[in-house]
Amino acid sequence: MPEAGKETGSGVVQDPFGAGSAREKDGGMVSKTEAETAEHSEEWFASAKKIYPMATHGLFRRIKWTLLFITIGIYYFLPFIRFDRGPNAPDQAVLVDMEGRRGYFFFIEIWPQEVYYLTGLLIIAAVALFLMNAIAGRLWCGYLCPQTVWTDLFLWVERKVEGDRRERIVLDNAPWTASKVAKRVTKHFFWIMIAWWTGGAWVLYFNDAPTLVYELATFQAPMAAYIWIAILTSTTYLLAGFMREQVCIYMCPWPRIQAALTDEKALSSR
C-alpha cells in the first residue's frame, strides 16, 4: 500500500482525507476536487443577458409608481425648499456647507464635532432596514433602492419610445433602419437628460441651489461642480441604462447582508 500523499506507479495520489484521488495535469498533480472546480469555474459568473421586462399593472405596481415619484421628487426638488434661520444664516432647508464646515437639515444644524448625530441617524436607518426585511422581505430592493427607482424610470422611457417587451425584442433583432436609429437616439437622449438632471441635483445640496443653477448655466460655477455632474451623469446612465440587475448581483452588498438576516423563522419566509 502506498503511503498517503505519495505518488504511486500509476501516477495517482491517495487522498489522505479519503476525499478522492488526484490526477496528472500539465506535468503536475491536481486533486480531483481542484480539477472539477477548474472545469466548472467558467459557470460561476454568467455573462450578462439582456432582460426585457414586460409592463405590469395592479395595486403593487401603482404603489411602486407612487413611491418612485415621491422619492425622485424629493431628491430633485428638496434643495430648492427654503427655511428661514435668521440673519447671516443660509436659508436652504437641506444644505451641506463645506466652506462653513456644517450641515443644515431644516431646524437642525450639525457641526463637525457633532458627527454622532449622523452616526445615530445611520444606525436608525440600518435598524429600520433590517426590520423592514424581517417583516416583509425585499421592500427596500423592490420599492425604495435608488438603483431600482432609476432603472424603473429608464425602463419607462424605453417602453414609451420602443414599445413593450415584444416590440423591443423585435427591434433589437431588426436590421438598422432610419426608424430604429431614431428610436435609439431618442431613448438615449432622454436617458442622458435624466442622468444629467440627477448629477446636477446632487451638487445643489452643497451650495445655494438657485445661485448654483445660475452659475452652472452661465459657466461661472466652480470646476468641481462640473466634474461631479459629469461623474454622476455617466454613472447613472451606465448603471440604470445598461448594468441594471448586474449591479444587484455583483455590486450591491445588501443581498449578502440579507442572507445573514434571514432564516426559516423570519416572517417574510413563512
Q: Tell whether 253 and 199 lie within a shared domain.
A: yes
Question: Which residues of 125-193 form beta strands (DSSP E)?
Answer: none
Lowest mean pLDDT among 6-15, 60-69, 156-165, 207-216: 6-15
pLDDT at 105 over 90: no
pLDDT at 10 over 60: no
Q: Tell whether 8 and 74 lie within a shared domain.
A: no
Cα distance between residue 107 and residue 227, in whole Å: 31
Q: What is the pLDDT of residue 37?
A: 52
One-letter amino acid identity for 86?
Answer: G
- pLDDT band at 33; cut points 50, 70, 90: low
pLDDT at 28 over 80: no
Q: Tell whether 141 and 263 lie within a shared domain.
A: yes
Report if residue 31 sits inside a domain: yes
Angstrom CA distances, 180 to 7, 154, 185, stand at 64, 18, 9
Q: Tell whether 149 and 26 lie within a shared domain.
A: no
Q: Tell whether 217 and 248 lie within a shared domain.
A: yes
Structural domain count of the chain: 2
Average pLDDT over residues 234-253: 88
Q: Tell whether 192 and 259 lie within a shared domain.
A: yes
Q: Tell whether 172 and 219 lie within a shared domain.
A: yes
Question: Which of 103, 119, 120 has its CA nearest to residue 111?
Answer: 103
Averaged pLDDT of the chain? 81
Angstrom CA distances, 113 to 99, 101, 103, 110, 197, stand at 15, 10, 11, 8, 33
The contacts of residue 252 (CB under 8 Å, 6+ apart) are: 147
Host domain of residue 64 = 59-79+137-269
Beta-bridged to residue 104, according to DSSP, are 95, 109
Lowest mean pLDDT among 3-7, 118-122, 239-243: 3-7
pLDDT at 65 over 90: yes
Q: Tell whether 65 and 193 lie within a shared domain.
A: yes
Strands 102-105 and 22-25, by their bridges, are unpaired
Q: In whole angstroms, how large is the CA radius of gyration of the chain?
A: 27
Cα distance between residue 38 and residue 33, in whole Å: 9
| pLDDT tens per residue, range 197-227 | 999 999 999 988 999 999 999 999 999 999 9
Q: Tell whether 181 and 216 lie within a shared domain.
A: yes
Q: Tell whether 180 and 75 lie within a shared domain.
A: yes
| pLDDT tens per residue, range 109-167 | 888 888 888 888 889 988 888 887 777 777 888 888 899 999 999 999 999 999 999 99
